[in-house]
Amino acid sequence: MAAARTGFDWRQFAILLAAAAAGVAAALPYAFTVFAARIARVPWPRAALAAAQLAQAVLLAALAAAAGLRLGPRVGLGAPLLARALHGPAGAAAAAGRDLLRFAALAVPLGAAAGALAAALDRAAFASALPAALREARAPVWQGLLAALYGGVTEEVLLRFGLFTALAWGLMRLWARAAAPGPGLTPLGGWTANVLTAVAFALLHLPAMAALAPLDARLVARTLVLNGGPGLLFGWLYWSRGLEAAMLAHVSADVALRAAAALLAP
């Protein structure tokens, strides 16, 4: 559970913003490869496109990080290991590192299982209906691994730290829970925020799909199922453990998804 602090934590803000920006930069080679045909029709140099993408993501990440830092302590959400490493007593950083390994022991296997399951489900239920453009949208392995940092870091700052926290706080206000003794979410509030965030997480993947192929009901269902399910896991880990656990699970899921998809490819 996140410890309540007074004032705005500019050190956490700077670290989260830098991490989100690094995630965007890591994903650019993958994006330029997969969306090469669409990018070729844009009358901008690649450097300008990269700068615009980075600026947009940094602005959104700044808003999300600010929301998470302002509202998180009121609902018991946040990045507890980062906060402890930055502001804890002597030896707190080492303790946070040990706790990170403990988080990883749970989050990495769960994330990897979610990614492998998503790949298997994609192969079993959706592969036959995928447009050729999606089947051919391949990138080198190193680019896919770098892109996993965008999902695991940038998307988690935006969706879990920002949106989930804001929804949880709003629901507590709506249900007159903001003044309850001690921060924390009720199960109903937590799962409602988790489901809403997972749906938003899945819907936000649709524009990328539409950039590769025309959307139809099967493609929309694929995007919602394959992203919404893991999104629920990431949200639960954020709620129950903290942002660091959600990040570890998300990176693991993306890596396992790409590895399993390569193994299952015909």
Query: pLDDT tens digit string along 162-202?
Result: 999 999 999 988 876 544 444 567 888 899 999 999 999 99
- Take residue 28 and report the two structure tokens written for it: 């650019």
- Which tokens hold the place of 24? 């965007």
Distance CA(226)–CA(122), nearest Å, equals 7
Q: Model confidence over 44-93: pLDDT tens digits?
A: 888 998 999 999 999 999 999 999 999 999 999 999 999 999 988 877 88
Express each pLDDT in 227-251 by its tens digit: 999 999 999 999 999 999 999 999 9
Contact between residue 253 and residue 115 where contact means Cβ atoms under 8 Å apart: yes
| The predicted structure's pLDDT at residue 246 | 98
Assess whether pLDDT exceeds 70 at residue 5: no
In the predicted structure, residue 2 carries a pLDDT above the cut 50 = no
How far is Cα 215 from Cα 219, in angstroms, rounded to an integer? 6
- The answer for residues whose C-beta is within 8 angstroms of residue 264's C-beta and 6 or more apart is 119, 120, 123
pTM, two decimals, is: 0.92
Q: Which 3-state string (H, E, C) describes the chain?
A: CCCCCCCCCHHHHHHHHHHHHHHHHHHHHHHHHHCHHHHHCCCCCHHHHHHHHHHHHHHHHHHHHHHHHHHHHHHCCCCHHHHHHHHCCCCHHHHHHHHHHHHHHHHHHHHHHHHHHHHHHHHHHHHHHCCHHHHCCCCCHHHHHHHHHHHHHHHHHHHHHHHHHHHHHHHHHHCCCCCCCCCCCCHHHHHHHHHHHHHHHHHCCHHHHHHHCCCCHHHHHHHHHHHHHHHHHHHHHHHHCCHHHHHHHHHHHHHHHHHHHHHHCC
Average pLDDT over residues 89-108: 89
Name the nearest CA neighbour of 261 among 222, 210, 211, 232: 222
Type of residue found at 206: L
